[in-house]
Amino acid sequence: MTPLDDFLAWYLAEHPVRAALLGADGYDHTLGDFSEAGFTARERAAEQWLLRLSAEPAMPSPAGPDELADEIDRELVVSFLRGSVASARWPDWRRDPAPYLGAIFGSMFTPFQQRLKPEVELVEAAVARLAEVPAVLAACRANLDPALAADLLVKRGLDQARTARRFLTSTLPGEVRDADLRVRLARAAEPAADAFDELVTFLESFTASGSWRMGEELYSTLLREREMLGYGASELHEKGRKAWDELDARMREVAARLGSASGPGQGSGPRESPDDWRAAMEALMDDHPPTLEAMRAEYAAETLRARDFVRDRGLVTFPEGEECQVLPSPEFQRPILAVASYLAPPPLTTSRSGVFFVPFTPDGFTGEQVRQRLRTNSRAQMPSIAVHEAYPGHHWHLAWMAGSPRTVRKVFRTPYFVEGWALYVEKMMHEQGYFDTPETELAHLDCRIFRAARMVVDTALHCGEMTIEEAEEFMATKASLSPGTAVGEVSRYCAWPTQAPSYLTGALEIERIRDEYQGDLRTFHDTIAGSGGLPLGLASKAILPPSA
């Protein structure tokens, strides 16, 4: 066993929900230790692992392919550990209900979605985990520190916790086909649902006085140490502003080609000027599916069109047996996520089936709120979103990556590559002619300028330079988001610092690597995407010769 093998065994044992979702055997009957002692023990262990793996001897020079790959694996784990050790200074398990709720919901929902084991085994595992839910939620109540927890994060957790009873006692058993097993699961869910009701009462009266702002020091540390970007928050902020300005100029040119601002079949009136891309996008957004289910069906058709386009042009190699389902987003996810998402095939299994989740609204949304959600999934925007989530974006990448012989790279990946890849392929597909009308081209650029706005807003929020209200206004006016969607977006940025800039930051870095690469496009795609979801500095090392 190598030191990396030892670390991987420790990591999977200490994170059983993550291990099971990755497809590792033997971890699906427990949620793990969520006590204060458990969290602090893992933090201390991460420090020791970092010291041990950082002290490993450097790769011999010149190195062969195997030695180089081994060194990249080690650097990947070291970057992950540096991020973990830095983040321990600002522990989410003391500030936010999300680490507890996410583990419970994900561990219950995903196995029934993927169905990689017989139903009786899925139910047995779910029953075992349900028995641990009261203890996990008790740990949540005990660990949340009023001086550290942020009111915004607590409210997000409260909204999600309120969906639990229906999800556990109705939706989850509804996934079980055998009547006896369904009854067994529903009975086991009742004590867990009662524990969630208790948590809801607790969170409703919980007074949180902490801040959700990460601060520039930790934010920059994570960019440099975990993401290996070589620059910090202020530089990232300026990159976002520069990208926004460049995209704004391009969008004005495309909008001018659209002529009248009237949307397809809609009388929205003339724009003030022919290059007003915001008014043009507003008009285009009026052409949307009439219902949430119609939106899902149209996304399914667009996903197939994108797959055929990629296949016909030989842009990537398709993994054997890959499949992408297009389904409504799970109900527990709807209160906290207003955009499309993707569930990858578990990479430690042979499955290559993933799910593109279409962003349905929570129960109780008004007709106008549903309409606004449909508008932000207009027919002009659907091609970009389907490319991003499915082909050759997340689904193709993560199904292809699952075939890697490098186990460490299946377990650890960064959104700066994964999300960067999905945005990179949007631009690549535009270059290949997929967005072949001014309407879809403008929507493609709008998706990109939206990510530039995220870079600006996320850094400004967490460095104390922008209020939530200012951020919502920025996202609603500098990108084509409805006010309601902008509110959901900004709430997500507050809860998940550094993630929102990953899209355009990663795309720009991948484009830079492609410019330096000597070879055909398909080989580039297969090689860099097959290398994993590496920090961008390591991705460059994995595909470019040492002299590059």
Query: DSSP string of 379-393?
Result: TTTHHHHHHHHTSSS
Return the residue matching tokens 């990396």: 4
pLDDT at 407 over 70: yes
**What is the token pair recorded at 412?**
């650890």
**What is the token pair recorded at 64?**
């062969």
pLDDT score recorded for residue 337 = 82
Top pLDDT among 411 and 271 is at: 411
pLDDT score recorded for residue 501 = 97
d(CA 172, CA 185): 8
> Would you say the C-alpha torsion 382, 385, 391, 396 has a positive or negative sign?
negative
pLDDT score recorded for residue 266 = 41
At 324, give phi and psi (nearest 5°).
-125, 110
Kindly give the residue spans of alpha helices, DSSP state H, lying in 463-501: 468-478, 483-495
pLDDT tens digits, residue range 240-298?
999 999 999 999 999 999 864 444 444 344 445 667 899 999 999 999 999 999 999 99
Under 8 Å between Cβ of 452 and 247: yes
pLDDT tens digits, residue range 131-163?
999 999 999 999 999 999 999 999 999 999 999
Give the strand pairing for 323-328 and 353-358. parallel
pLDDT band for position 483 (cuts 50, 70, 90): confident
The arithmetic mean of pLDDT across residues 496-512, rounded, is 97
Nearest to 358 by CA among 331, 320, 323: 331
**What is the token pair recorded at 529?**
């995407």
pLDDT score recorded for residue 269 = 43
Under 8 Å between Cβ of 341 and 15: no
The arithmetic mean of pLDDT across residues 59-66, rounded, is 68
